[in-house]
Structure 1
Amino acid sequence: MDPADKAGMLFHMMVAVGEHSSGNSAFGIPSLVAMVRNRRMSHFNLLGEAPSGREFAAWHNEAQRIAAETGLGIPLTFSTDPRHAFTDNPGASILAGQFSQWPETLGFAAIGSPERLERFADVARQEYTAVGLRIALHPQIDLATEPRWSRISGTFGEDADLTSRLVVGYIRGFQGDELGTDSVATMVKHFPGGGPQKDGEDPHFAYGREQVYPGGAFDYHLKPFRAAIEAGATQMMPYYGMPVGTDMEEVGFGFNKGVITDLLREELGFDGIVCTDWGLLTDVTILGTPMPARAWGVESLSREERMLKALEAGVDQFGGELCTDVLLDLVAEGRVTEDRLDQSVRRLLREKFTMGLFDDPFVDEERAEAVVGAADFLAEGLAAQSDSLTLLTNTDSLLPLSRGVRLYAEGIDVDKLGAYATVVESPDEADVAILRIKAPFEERSGGFEAFFHAGSLEFPAVELERLTAIAEQVPTVIDVYLDRPAVLGGLEESAAALMADFGASDDAVLPVLFGERAPQGNLPFDLPRSMRAVEESRSDVAFDTADPTFRFGHGLRY
């Protein structure tokens, strides 16, 4: 391999499913052909979806043919953010599309079964491999100790022990007992644990760059990563955040040698691939919004100096970066040795060989058509959505409802509801009301930032009054989608029944409301009583808000 071949392997960029010769203007990404042929890149994070499993597989196979005809013919490795659930934050996940649809990660925490999670991961593995996806840019095993953080929906909640048990099933489902030709490699994130963000702000943005440990609970956040390494995780992603007020260097974890080399590699014994989170080196524009490089603590360094610092820290790949030319210049100048390149290239090539990509990089397009969104997978996903529903209150055993009841509804498909009840147009005509709502958040500016649900956990006063008025007029079931903990503001008392969901379709919720299935979930975090309690809690300490409305593990049955 010449230096250009080696340098290309150290970059893991996004590419959109679709045409191979066109780029993605929303993210400022060149075409796949250009990145493979001109930059010798061979690792890509797939954005978007295809209309069917067959078309997805066909797109993948054509991409592999392009790679086979370029240079040394190194096969491509395609990765993906989660794409089996409900959110559509392009910085965190992809809509399910043709794939089977399951609850969010929090929903599996509500179910609490490593075996059930392993089954999900095995299904996802089958769908991924059918279309050529071989790296899962997940699981996200950060701990939700700061209730305001906008990335909580991708976690297993607040408890380190539960997360540690669940991540083992997750990795086994995707990788098997060890990584092999039928595996999907897991890139565990975000080492050494995102979550304890100052004021709950996210380090995708400069105002959220500080990660704080006022309770001295750094080791608590490491517990799930120890379990993941023992379970055989082959890749690791450090987070953007920079530790503040500790004995660690105050630079982002992707630049932090004490964290990546001293802690992860030497103390914890991890010898897999370390890939940075996306966009540590280069300022870009995403969805029309300027996005400075997330080079927290090293903003004053040049792009070349940032790259050097990350390599010296021990990373193997730069996520979301294109600047192979910068690395080649550093090699030509002798500031990065080929021996240093080889350390990372060996890890990256080893994984391609282990997963069989050099033997056969192509997939069976007919099999992809049969596997992606298979009927039994869809049914299992729907059942998991139902089972993750968490019943918080049920005054006078209102639930389950009787069929044929006169019902007023909001946030639910009236056509689907009509199979269970007589739908009326106003609360004063109803025997019962069903309101499906979402946890509150403060809207931020447009573009990329708008996808992050952050800020206050309280419902706006006007909305709270409206919901309470309905609940006072007619017995009301409120189902609240919790992508973060919510301050319920008294809804737990005014609603006749209160249920939490973590990504569930109407088809999953209605059978539970009408008694065809029973709720099985338990809360994966505390629900704080007030914003004052949140603000006074320590961001790194679990279960630290005073007098929570509902405790971790709460969940009623009927």
Structure 2
Amino acid sequence: MTLTRRAFTAAALAGTGALATIPAAQAAPAKKGGGTKDRIEEILAGMSIEQKIGQLFVAVGYGSRADQAHASNTATTGVATIADIVRTHHVGGLIYFVWSENLQSIEQIATLSNDAQDAALESGGIPLVISADEERGVVYRLPAPATPLPGQMALGATGSKAHARKAGEVVGLEMRAAGLHQSFSPVADVNVEAQNPVIGVRSLGADAQAVAELVAMQIRGQQGANCSAAAKHFPGHGDTATDSHYGLPIIDHTREEIDTLDLPPFVAAIEEGVDAIMTAHIVVPALDDSGRPATLSHPILTGLLREELGYEGVIVTDSLAMEGVRTMFGDDRVPVEAILAGADQMLMPPDLVVAIGGVRDAVASGEITEERLDESVRRILAQKQRRGLFDQVHVDAAGAESTIGTAKSVKTARAIAEDSITVITAERGALPVRKGSRVLVTGVGTAAKIDAAVAELNALGFQATGLVGATAAQAATAAADHDAALVFTSSSGFVTPAAESAVVKAVAGTGTPVVHASLRNPYDVVHVGPVAASLAAYGNADASLRAIAGVLAGTVKARGTLPVPVPHADGTGEAYPIGHGLG
């Protein structure tokens, strides 16, 4: 039976009486000897068209509880609660964010996940894949005590496959403990554009083969912890100066450049058996000269990813609320075009009712066949089966926090941080700093971050004081009473913000030796002027701040090397090449 959009909405709001319900036996654990494919086909055969369409969507739901009414849910999904979203629209998954009020504490997250799963099981029998952008470093979602791991570029600076695998394992274990099953990570983009506004330290580096090796190890660790990984953003978002959240980037690589620079990490991910690959909202004329973004491109998703590279897992779009995918079609057509291109799951449509309605209309007209729906649903069900979701979806909400941020995981974070710190420049005798020195800690950073560095320096035998939010003049005045200064910058782009570089230059101008540390992109070194030493930490995790303090004290040997080249201040050439490091 095919329902019109109006009839389907009316039936859904009235309950599920007009919709098929998967028999309980089909959601039960498989019998011994039963094949996975047989089980999936049995489930698929019991699904209505509406349930199949729903499985293709990963929705945002607002609220900290599954039964919490929220105006934003009504505005974007037509129903009031997360449980209603699941029951009404039969979505295949949810994605959690802080801004949607889903992530307040570990116990709350686990309880929300359990209750959302109950809604799924009661209204159709197909469990949800619950996801988050859990890259760690600058992009993380789980609240404390989740392990504050250094990010991708810090891993790239270590060059350690063991570190990459362990980092993936920590993410996977902590996600599963909180009732989540899919991390949209690792970032597989090769960041060769210093002015890239959206990737930056989220990338492992600029060497395609090195990135490929570490991507594979992160996937091995994460999926070894029974949490789905998703390599992103296919076919490669590393060489753009446009943010696809706000515009449509064009990647002018030749096919040869794509093969050698962009694709190796995705090939490695496929060989490692990655559960999902996320698409990019970028135009790649060498692969598709129609002007369509990759997310909507049949030559890229089907021709290249499916047929040429042989990928058989789930293809998930990047957020359909991003401007980069909404420039050519309306919000009702974007998911249709993505499905026709070869995508399986539609992430975060801005209006779920409009998006599902568009797909329903395309199915009703025959533009999308039921056979095409079945292809995607099979892949989605296979992922859920692979991660054991048809056997057990509930977690111990009360006990979840005790398994997160363990001593072992914190030790892993600290080891990665210590091996990632890169000494880019250092005058003779600048490092280590003499024990007992009076050290001023200032520059960019919250009071908590400055205090963490101060505490570690004091524990290592220094007389450290912090100065938060100082102007250049204030920092210079304070530096006069100190033997050395540790000054932080944190640039999300290529050029360091003027106020941050001004603090470094003002303190250095007093004659007090300055150890500068960049807490995000490593390019700050060419913008802050002469200093006694300049370090790159690639992030501001507490483990990285402690590692910086250890380098000043000489207790940590800075083994990191640059995973990306650093251009000169005008953006040309190479001031420091890949692999540079004075440790």
TM-score (norm 2): 0.80
Q: Match for residue 5 of structure 1?
A: 51
Using the alignment, how far apart are the partners of 1:24 and 1:549 within structure 2?
52
Q: Is there any run of 5+ residues in structure 1 with no aligned partner, and where?
A: 177-181, 281-290, 440-452, 534-545
Q: Which residue of 1 is the match for residue 233 of structure 2?
A: 190
Once structures 1 and 2 are overlaid, which stretch shifts more, 311-320 or 404-413?
A: 404-413
- What are the residue-to-residue correspondences of 1:104-143 with 2, within 5 Å? 104-143=151-190
Q: Using a 3 Å threshold, how does the CA distance of structure 1 residues 96 and 159 change in structure 2: closer, same or farther?
A: farther
- How far apart, CA to CA, are the structure 2 residues paired with 1:292 and 1:196? 18
Identity of matched residues, %? 29
Q: 1:484–1:401: structure 2 CA closer, same or farther, 3 Å change rule? A: closer
- Residues 517/328 of structure 1: CA separation in 2 closer, same or farther (3 Å cut): same
Is contact 2:279–2:318 with CA below 8 Å preserved after alignment? yes
- For the aligned residue pairs, the C-alpha RMSD in angstroms reads 2.4
Q: Per-residue deviation at 1:210? A: 2.1
In structure 2, the CA distance between the partners of 1:15 and 1:379, relative to structure 1 (3 Å rule), is farther
Number of the residue aligned with 1:444: none
User: Which AA in structure 1 matches 2:245?
Assistant: H
CA distance in 2, matches of 1:185, 1:385: 25
Q: Which residue of 1 aligns with 2:336?
A: 308
SS in 2 for 1:396: coil
CA distance in 1, matches of 2:186, 2:76: 25
Equivalent position amino acid for 1:34 in 2: D
Residue 107 of structure 2 corresponds to residue 66 of structure 1: no
1:97-138 Cα distance to aligned partner (Å, 9 max, x none): 321111111000001111111011112211111112111101
| SS at 1:426 equivalent | helix
Deviates more, 1:144-153 or 1:246-255: 246-255
Taking the aligned partners of 1:247 and 1:274, their CA distance within structure 2 comes to 18
User: In structure 2, what residue type is equivalent to 1:253?
Assistant: A
Partner of 2:568: 529
Aligned counterpart in structure 1 of residue 68 of structure 2, from 11, 16, 22:
22
* Residue number in structure 2 paired with 1:148: 195
The farther-off stretch of 27-36 and 369-378 is: 27-36
Out of 75, 78, 81, the position equivalent to 2:130 is 78
1:483 corresponds to which of 517, 521, 544: 521
Amino acid at match of 1:549: A
Residue 109 of structure 2 corresponds to which residue in structure 1?
56
Is the partner of 2:548 in helix, strand or coil?
Answer: helix
Aligned partner letter, 2:576 = F
Shift of 1:141: 0.8
Gap regions ≥5 residues in structure 2: 1-46, 444-449, 466-476
Contact 2:229–2:275 (8 Å) recurs in 1: yes
1:470 aligns with 2:507: yes
In the aligned structure 2, how far is the partner of 1:171 from the partner of 1:485?
28
Q: Which amino acid aligns with 2:318?
A: D
Q: How does 1:31-430 map to 2 (within 5 A)?
A: 31-48=81-98, 50-70=103-123, 72-82=124-134, 84-85=136-137, 87=138, 93-94=140-141, 96-150=143-197, 151-176=199-224, 183-197=226-240, 200-206=241-247, 208-213=248-253, 217-219=257-259, 220-244=261-285, 248-279=289-320, 292=323, 294-296=325-327, 299=328, 301-321=329-349, 322=352, 323-411=355-443, 412-413=450-451, 414-419=454-459, 420-423=461-464, 426-430=478-482
Q: Which amino acid aligns with 1:266?
A: E
Which structure features the higher share of helix residues?
2
Aligned length: 500
Relative CO higher for 1 or 2, CA cutoff 8 Å, sep ≥ 6? 1
Structure 1 pair 192–484 and aligned structure 2 pair: CA distance change class (3 A): farther
- Shift in Å, 1:42: 2.7
Q: Is the 8 A contact 1:83 1:96 kept in 2?
A: no
Query: 1:487-526 alignment to 2 at 5 Å?
Result: 488-489=526-527, 491=529, 494-504=530-540, 505=542, 506-526=545-565
Q: Contact between 1:457 and 1:531, CA under 8 Å: does it hold in 2?
A: no
Residue 443 of structure 1: aligned partner: none
How far off is 1:216 after superposition?
A: 5.7
State the alpha-carbon separation in 1 of the partners of residues 504 and 254 from structure 2.
37
- Quick check: 1:17–1:50 contact (8 Å CA) kept in 2? no
**Bigger Rg over Cα:** 2
